[in-house]
Structure 1
Amino acid sequence: MTFKLGPWMFVMLILCVSLWLVSRHGFRMEYYEIRKQLFSHGYVPETNTVNDTPVKLDIQCVGEMPHKAEDLFCMERPQYLTDFKNPCWYAKEDGKLRLKCVPYYHILGVSKSGTTDLAYRIRAHEDVIGCNDCVGDKESFYWCRRRYGYGIFMDERTPCNFTCFQQMFADAAQKIEQTTTETGFHKMITGDATPSDFSDFRGWPKLPQNMGLEKPVVTTPHLMRHVYADPKFILIFRNPTDRLYSDYMMLDGSSVAAFHEAVSKDIEIEETCMKNHTVEQCLYSMDIARKLRTRIFLGCYSVYMREWLKVFTREQFLILRTEDHDQDPKARLRKVYNYLELNYTEDMLSFVANLPHRRVSKKKIKQGPMLEKTRFLLDNFYSRYKQDLATILQDEKFLWLT
């Protein structure tokens, strides 16, 4: 008697083997390869390795061009002062030397993952100053939108150049300059918490170096690398399925049924695009984004993470999970304060960690959980990107299996 495996039994066998590999060997590449074959849907990253050494940029100045963003590569990096913790320098303005500063840290993303709450707790520290012309005292939107001539809702605006960006931190610069330690060191810092900076590359066609190209050779990470000497980046990742539901309800969501319909349509749009174009071209496209009912593209974390790691080393990122904050907010805050080299006492840390949570979505609570069929669709769509992110970070927590 001959025993034959049906197609579903074969899939189940492969899954059992993959789980055995994880339990026996931990997070290994064998598990990645098996999962990739089952769930890739055409997304295969260029390489499984990521950069771990500083990249030398070899990007040439193109200069001013009509309808293009300011060419930062025509500007030399500021000469940052060594007696300032925050990146600051003196420049002539109206015949006088004035202190100019840019952020010491960036909370890069991602939206609806607790970035507002974390920014609030960082600014609770006495050595941290907010931004004087930012949304919610925290979001400049310079790197992802304003420098391209887009408003926060992608409406057309006058582009914000690098001088305009500096002006957003003029008040912070004044306070930083006025405050010193006994040794004369200026220890105060300022930061930017624009979650869209991590993943919103839709302005890439307006960069002079990308003129006439089908996909960008220069994105936000390259620009930041040219400007900053030693930036500190903070990322908070949340299960992308849950993140999208919160995001949808925050913006204009009406019901769980409407969310399911929107998700179904958006997955179809993205998958259709990816059949004929690269994943990056579809996720960075302004035209595709305008067709979508949700910001489903924001949850494809690994695609953007690889973009950043082409330019910066892994050590320049503090990467957190929203879910871990819920379990131990004090432990997460300790990591952040240590990373930013902020002094604290245990009592002070406890006080800030226990402050009321910011930006809780009341609308989502009222609507209740998403439909199970919606969660199934999204989990399947995001599975390839979660797997890739876990591979990049060598941490299976970013599979969000539990």
Structure 2
Amino acid sequence: MGGRSAEDFDKTVRRDIQTEETCMKNHTVEHCLYSLEIARTLQQVKMRLESRRWVLLMLGLCVLLYLVTRYGSRMDHVISPHMLSHGYVPEANRVDDTSVKLDIQCVGAGPHEAEDLFCMERPKYVPEFKNPCWYTKADGKLRLKCMPYYHILGVCKSGTTDLAYRIRAHEDVLGCNDCFSQKEIFYWCRIRYGYTHSMRPRPPCNFSCYQQKFDTAALRIKHTTTETGYHNMITGDASPSDFSDFRGWPKIPQNAGLEKPVVMTPHLMRHVYTDPKFILIFRNPTDRLYSDYIMRGGRSAEDFHEAVTRDIQIEETCMKNHTVEHCLYSLEIARTLRTRIFLGFYSVYMREWLKVFPREQFLILRTEDHDQDPKARLRKVYNYLKLNYTEEWLSYIASAPKRNVSKKKKSIEPMLEKTRVLLDTFYGRYNRDLADVLQDKRFLWLT
């Protein structure tokens, strides 16, 4: 009948009861119930409501017609036969656009702030490419630009270099240009904020600068097709610090003047990507830290124990007065530490990513499992990236010697047992949290 609210219904009922009772004082009940004139008075409210509803409906149709006329040509596209089985999936099947969902607005970059990516529209990716690529005008010509199809997000000293090599060994995978080992760019965690690898100042690299790191790959991708005309080559970014290094957050324009960030790396990547593929390798954080210490010029197991004892005290003192996130994301705190002990808080960073991306966007591995069965792990990675392979090829590349094995590690003594106990206790709570988040007890590292 088009009723609007309980209050409106109450007023209508009171009026209709009064109408009926007035009639029944002068006529029989049957007369009042069977009267067309009385019934018509009772329909007046309905007619008024119906007329209002039709007015609103017509206004809605007019707005819809305008939107279709104004924007329809932008939304129309030919669905490639490959879209449902390779690369980027149709827009309707993708995860929500978090920049819209969280109402993150373009505010523009101020002095000493990083480029505001929310002032940029998401690239219109071409469905005939497995890799996220799009055409843009440059110097009066249409040029193909590409972003990474996959990201090895982390974690440092967990086998990311070795895995990146085994992925790039595939004939359909390309590296980046003008980057470290065709692997690391550190755009999302450092150079977009104007920091070097060691967090020293440098000229910032904007989004256009980041795209240029894949120009060589874009040319290969453009000129390589299957028999059906599909471009099946891909490229990737294996910057392991992207997962956990949020220390540039104060330079994100939306965070200006805030005590804690509302926008971080996952939000930025969500604005740019539609269907990203993230690979994470977690290693027992205690072992990871010692390996990291050795790589960064560590001297001895005893010195490592002294450094860890001091760094744990710094972090725990900070956490008594601030949130865990504040202490882990602070550049000032990090500069006082002798080790990168903050990188082992995997669950804290994982929860930040899962606020923005669903769990299925991540392939999560353990370093220890690769040591036991490298072929099984590589099969999982190739399947995740939708790479074709034969068992012979898989066996060959899985048996290749490990990459980036520290030579100094062989000359330094094992970690002291007292240091291991200290770190296992310190990280224990966060290992339990990670196992809970991922619903996998292997990440307790009990054996």
TM bucket, shorter chain: 0.7 to 0.9
Matches within 5 A, 1:216-365: 216-365=261-410
Aligned amino acid, residue 130 of structure 1:
G
CA drift of 1:362 comes to 2.0
Compute the TM-score of the two structures, normalised by the length of structure 2. Answer: 0.78
Aligned amino acid, residue 344 of structure 1:
Y
Aligned amino acid, residue 350 of structure 1:
S
Identity of aligned residues (%): 77
State the SS of the aligned residue for 1:233. strand
Q: Which has the larger radius of gyration?
A: 2
Q: Show the counterpart of 1:164.
A: 209
> In 2, Cα distance between the equivalents of 1:252 and 1:346?
40
Q: Deviations over 1:186-245 (max 9, x none)?
A: 000000000000000000000000011111000000000000010000000000000000
> In 2, Cα distance between the equivalents of 1:148 and 1:170?
22
Q: Show the counterpart of 1:115.
A: 160
Q: Show the counterpart of 2:414.
A: 369
Q: Show the counterpart of 1:25.
A: none
Aligned amino acid, residue 213 of structure 1:
L
Matches within 5 A, 1:74-223: 74-223=119-268
Q: Show the counterpart of 2:112.
A: 67
> In 2, Cα distance between the equivalents of 1:295 and 1:247?
8
Query: Contact 2:300 / 2:413 at 8 angstroms: preserved in 1?
Result: no
> In 2, Cα distance between the equivalents of 1:335 and 1:303?
25
State the SS of the aligned residue for 1:367. coil
Aligned amino acid, residue 321 of structure 1:
R
Report 1 or 2 for greater relative contact order, CA contacts < 8 Å, sequence distance ≥ 6. 1
CA drift of 1:361 comes to 1.7
> In 2, Cα distance between the equivalents of 1:173 and 1:298?
33
Query: Contact 2:124 / 2:134 at 8 angstroms: preserved in 1?
Result: yes
> In 1, Cα distance between the equivalents of 2:232 and 2:102?
30
> In 2, Cα distance between the equivalents of 1:166 and 1:86?
13
Q: Show the counterpart of 1:18.
A: none
Compute the TM-score of the two structures, normalised by the length of structure 1. Answer: 0.86
> In 2, Cα distance between the equivalents of 1:120 and 1:278?
38
Structure 1 runs of 4+ aligned residues shifted over 4 Å read none
Which residues of structure 2 form unaligned runs of 5+? 1-94
CA drift of 1:133 comes to 1.4
- Equivalent pairs counted in the alignment come to 351
CA drift of 1:135 comes to 1.0
CA drift of 1:303 comes to 0.2
Q: Show the counterpart of 1:22.
A: none
Aligned amino acid, residue 334 of structure 1:
R
CA drift of 1:390 comes to 0.3
> In 1, Cα distance between the equivalents of 2:285 and 2:254?
32
Aligned amino acid, residue 272 of structure 1:
T
Aligned amino acid, residue 355 of structure 2:
K
Matches within 5 A, 1:4-23: none
CA drift of 1:124 comes to 0.3
> In 1, Cα distance between the equivalents of 2:339 and 2:179?
25
Q: Deviations over 1:134-190 (max 9, x none)?
A: 111100110000000001111111110000000000000000001000111000000
Which residues of structure 1 form unaligned runs of 5+? 1-52
Aligned amino acid, residue 144 of structure 2:
L
> In 1, Cα distance between the equivalents of 2:296 and 2:319?
26
> In 1, Cα distance between the equivalents of 2:297 and 2:374?
29
Aligned amino acid, residue 129 of structure 1:
L
